[in-house]
A and B are shown apart, each in its own frame.
Chain A
Amino acid sequence: MIFLEFTVIKPEIGLFVWSCIIFALFWLIVGRFAFRPIADALKKREHDIQGALDESVRTREEMAKMKAENEALLAQAREERGRMLKEAKETGDAIVREAREGAKSEASKVLEQAKLEIENQKKHAINEVKNQAGILAIEITERLLREELKDKESQRRLVDNLVKDLNLS
């Protein structure tokens, strides 16, 4: 009889009862205090991880948007700066040009005045010289005349000369 010692196929009542009790306890205790909390923790963690992933995607999108905004702002600022520089340059140039022109015209005016003054001085001097020369000539002439017309002889000669000159002419 092959089943004689093959006791495992004869379900013993004692082992059956113990199996039921111990498995029920295992299900109750470990199921309640381990399997369920672990499943909850895993569910929560899964949820957290999904949340973190979603969050990171959203953050990345936000970052990209902010970056684009920054770049636009930067470009705008750069443009503004260029424009301001150009404007400043233009203003500066205008000021320099104006100043130069002002100076030039001032200088030429001064020059003109100087010339005029010089001319006036020159005229004045010439007039002075002329007057002096006239005075001198008169004085000399006076002296000469006095010399010449000192005696009667000389007076006659003069008249003779003059008559001669008149005759000649």
Chain B
Amino acid sequence: MNLSTKFPSLLMFLTVFLVGAATPGFTQHENQENTHEEASTADHEVGDLCGHAGHHDEEFDPAATAFHHIANPNVFSIGPFNFPLPCILYAPDHGLEIFSAGRFEFDFRGHGDGHKAYKGYVLDAGSVKRVVDPSFPQESVIIGGFAHEGDDASVCYEGKAYPLDSRSAMDGGLFGGGISSFYDFSLSKNVVALILVFAFLAWIFIGIARSYKEREGKAPKGIQSFMEPMFLFIQDEVAKPFLGDKWAKYQPFLMSLFFFILALNLFGQIPFFGGANVTGNLAFTMALALFTFFVVNFNGKSEYWKHVLWMPGVPAAIKAVIITPVEILGLFIKPFTLMLRLFANITAGHIVVLSFIGLIFIFGKSGESLGGASLGVVVSVPLTIFMMAIELLVAFIQAFVFTILTASYIGAAIEEHHH
């Protein structure tokens, strides 16, 4: 436990440090761009934005590249190839649209920029965005490219820049997201990864359950004996110590958490196979934390609620002023930390790996300097291998930490009175 709680902070530190180290080139470049844009917008039309469209693609931008790779696009990348995924989009003022991302006619090899707009939607760097302007044509039209300026993205069409909306997010605008003009319920890369992992684990574990039934009274064999130590570890070291004799009731939930998180962590680390960053996405960890929150509080015994709302053995004034508000906050902070811990660890690991790989391109000045790139390879490859090894470790540790903390929260909620 001590080790695993130290790791996140270490990883976050490393990430901040490395991203910080890698960013100056990017920010400097952007600043130049910005000053250039500011100078030009003074005496040009907005359409001029589109004159520079595509320009940003030529320079290597490590931060944007890293963020692009951990994002949740509407295309699935295997190696350098992009495969379209089904889009399910809902805009309150437009209705529901279901179509394949292939409608955007993005390049099979590329960054996932669509060449066409469809029903007012476009594909920018693999992600669906919506044109806000209602005068934009609803039918399938060829577009001129994308322009990014500051926080805003625009699409160029017939020499005119149309601002774009990103999919709605639940951060309330805290990180630049918030409710926009449309909702994206697509089978995006992460959803496809979820379905694949779900199917894979269901196949594996139902098979194992069947072999336990068929080989009753015999020693475990094959995949069964591979999974049994992990299964027993979670059961005997996590479920039983925290939940006492009621462990069997919560065992499926804890097992689901552990194996689902673990499998997704590992799935996200397979190189050239999508690299789906599911457990490093706040939406997914939020969903899991919500499950934990409900399981804990729906099963809370009267003893637990008494301790939360009116702690026995403490003077009433202190209870009313400090303990009860803190305990009530704690109800939400506990799942909140679960959500952030898993998200931060996995995202941090991916960003560090991507930053190390980005070193090759920074040293090589985006392909201009072969010597620099070679030096970058020499520096970056061992660091990346090391980091990926750490990530493998973190995949197990974080799945375990999430599960054991959930077990401890449930254990505290269902504990019967004994002083």
User: Which residues of A pack against B, CB within 8 Å?
Assistant: 1-20, 22-27, 29-39, 41-42, 44-45, 48
B253 proximal to A (CB < 8 A): yes
**Which A residues lie within 8 Å of B125 (CB)?**
5
**Secondary structure dominating the interface of B:** helix
From B188, B212, B256, B343, give the contact of A8 (CB < 8 A).
B343
Knowing A12-B169, A16-B170, A19-B288, the reply to whether A31 touches B256 (Cβ < 8 A) is yes
Given the known inter-chain contacts A6-B175, A8-B282, please indicate yes or no for A33 contacting B186, CB distance below 8 A: no
Of B150, B231, B283, B343, the residue contacting A15 (CB under 8 A) is B283
Whether B256 and A37, one on each chain, are in contact in the complex, defined by CB atoms closer than 8 angstroms, is no
Number of interface residues of B (CB under 8 A): 70
| Chain B nearest CB, measured from A39 CB (Å) | 5
> Please, how many angstroms separate the alpha-carbon atoms of A7 and B70 in the complex?
8
State whether A16 and B287 are in contact (beta carbons under 8 Å apart), knowing that A8-B280, A10-B169, A26-B256 are contacts in the complex.
yes
B232 lies within 8 A of chain A by Cβ: yes
Contacts of B277 in A (CB 8 A): 8
The reply to whether B286 and A11 form a contact with Cβ atoms under 8 Å apart is yes
Once bound together, how far apart are the Cα atoms of A50 and B252, in whole Å? Answer: 24
Instruction: Give the residues in chain A near B198, CB-CB below 8 Å.
Output: 22, 25-26
Q: What residue of chain B has the Cβ atom nearest to residue A38's Cβ?
A: B209
A10 to B176, CA, bound (A): 8
Contacts of B167 in A (CB 8 A): 12-14
In the complex, what distance in Å separates the CA atom of A36 from the CA atom of B212? 12
Is the CB–CB distance between A42 and B208 below 8 Å?
no
Report the Cα distance A22→B260, complex, angstroms.
10
Q: Please give, as numbers and ranges, the residues of chain A lying within 8 Å of B190 by CB-CB distance.
A: 15, 18
Kindly state the separation between the CA atoms of A13 and B183 in the bound complex, as whole angstroms.
7
Decide if B168 is an interface residue (CB 8 Å cutoff).
yes
Partner of A4 from B72, B88, B151, B248 at Cβ < 8 Å: B151
- State which of A6, A15, A48 has its C-beta within 8 Å of the C-beta of B191: A15
